[in-house]
Amino acid sequence: MIKKAKMILNKDYKISDIDPRIYGSFIEHLGRAVYGGIYEPTHPKADEHGFRTDVIELVKELNVPIIRYPGGNFVSGYNWEDGVGPKENRPRRTELAWGTIETNEMGTNEFADWAKKVNTDVMMAVNLGTRGADAARNLVEYCNHNSGTYWSDLRRKHGYAEPHNIKTWCLGNEMDGPWQICHKTAEEYGRLAAETAKVMKWVDPSIEVVACGSSNSAMPTFAEWEATVLDHTYEYVDYISLHQYYGNAENNTANFIAKTEDFDRFIKSVIATCDYVKAKKRSKKTINLSIDEWNVWFHSNEADKKIEKWSIAPHQLEDVYNFEDSLLVGGMLITMLQHSDRVKMACLAQLVNVIAPIMTTNGGGTWRQTIFYPFMHVSNYGRGCVINPIISSPTYDSKDFTDVPVLQSAAVFNEEKEQLTIFALNKAINDNLEFECDIRSFEGYKVLEHIVLTHNDVKAVNTESNPFNVKPNSNGNAKIVDGIIHANLDKISWNVIRLSKKIN
């Protein structure tokens, strides 16, 4: 059976310009994200700094503009001073968040070096668990002050004459979570975050800071946490974070890919809470959102229970992603684009090995997981302005959701390049979708390509021995007739329809 869906796009109906930082990612000192992931000095493809060049090339394919570091739960027990200076003098520490040993071979300066190699900026997180404002302002001084002070001169002594100029900073991590080292109440965290933000900005007024929001939408303290934290921090912070992971433990594909509905509600609720505090304070300032952890995460839960405590860089949180996971990741990206007026930053968590689009073997190869592809598509082709679509779509009901649109779509217009890209997800399990899209306001545009990611097995995965089992093709059949795009969208498929006014 073929279902039908229609969409209308008008270039004058804009949601917002996209902040490229919405396509960020995350590297935490966790599992093999750092050691064996981005850094492996003994690897045949390691460069002079010990960075894996094969990983660097795959990260470049993703075109990631900002990467959050060094955590995550890790940061709430981290002494940043342990990771600077001569490596032979750096201490090994028990890492309480994940029950491992941290060698501190990688630290602030090395990560800044690596970030330059992959053409990205750093989103630095500070420890508001075991530490506070003093350590945070010292780190800003170490990273961003030019010279002539203790911490800036120490950086220069460590071989970095020029400041790193890190402009985006996270005020701790998931401080609402009882699992967090030195978990705090909203009152405790709000006061600490406000005072920390003040002194960090006194050191460098040009930085932007992110306050911790809820760790997920099911937290018992949501959204009272946001309201209380923002009540303390509103005039000192620029963003509030939200984290969200989804799983499919019940093995219900239709319900799983419908979880974008929950994601959408979560984002709207946080926006509403921010605006409530804005009204309460009679403020002219608008707080925007940083979704600095988001992904699918559940596959590795049982394996992680068997990890030997106090090991170094174990195989931890190494979810093997299947085809249906890529669909939800694509749907979450579309959801964020639909809220691009308020969602200004986001970090796919994480980047390498740990719940990641990129996997490696120690001493061996690399490969792209299924979720690599929708992220790559949106990051590379979703630059410009989001157009507000008018969508007419059939719907379905699932275990947890009702009236779920079969078609989920977002469109991005790059006026400078004269390109229009439509990202379209067909959530129908058994039915192809006959898709029509009115683009008559985009006169003269033609189809460049119609990329399709689909597979006959929703559980299909990519492995080192079979790295392209799930991969996109350009065999889509989108065409334009009298200003209307006509395309057949395969059942449960991810589609990218690229159009341009300039075709060589």
Residues involved in catalysis: 174, 293
Q: Are 351 and 358 in contact (CB under 8 A)?
A: yes
Roughly what angle, to the nearest 10 degrees, separates helices 150-157 and 133-144?
50
CB contact set of 220 (below 8 Å; sequence gap of 6+): none
CB contact set of 8 (below 8 Å; sequence gap of 6+): 389, 390, 437, 438
Q: How far apart are CA 350 and CA 132, in angstroms?
A: 25
Amino acid at 228: T
- Rounded to the nearest 5 degrees, what angle is found at the Cα of 327, between the Cα atoms of 323 and 332? 145
Question: Cα 425 from chain centroid?
Answer: 19
Buried/exposed 306-334: b ≥16 CB within 10 Å, e otherwise: ebeeeeebbbbbbbebbbbbbbbbbbbbb
Q: Are 129 and 76 in contact (CB under 8 A)?
A: yes
Amino acid at 485: I
Q: Tokens at residue 16, please?
A: 């917002």
Amino acid at 38: I
Q: How far apart are CA 112 and CA 115, in angstroms?
A: 5
Q: Tokens at residue 463, please?
A: 């492995």
How is residue 221 annotated by DSSP?
A: T
String of DSSP letters for 32-94: TSTBTTTB-TTSTTB-TTSBBHHHHHHHHHHT--EEEES-SGGGGG--GGGGSS-GGGPPPEE
String of DSSP letters for 270-291: HHHHHHHHHHHTT-S---EEEE
Q: Tokens at residue 412, please?
A: 């991005």
Say if strands 24-26 and 343-348 run parallel, antiparallel, or are unpaired: parallel
Closest by CA to 211, choosing from 190, 228, 231, 235, is 190
String of DSSP letters for 381-425: H--SEEE--EEE--EE--SS-SSEESEEEEEEEETTTTEEEEEEE
Residue position matching structure tokens 């992971």: 245
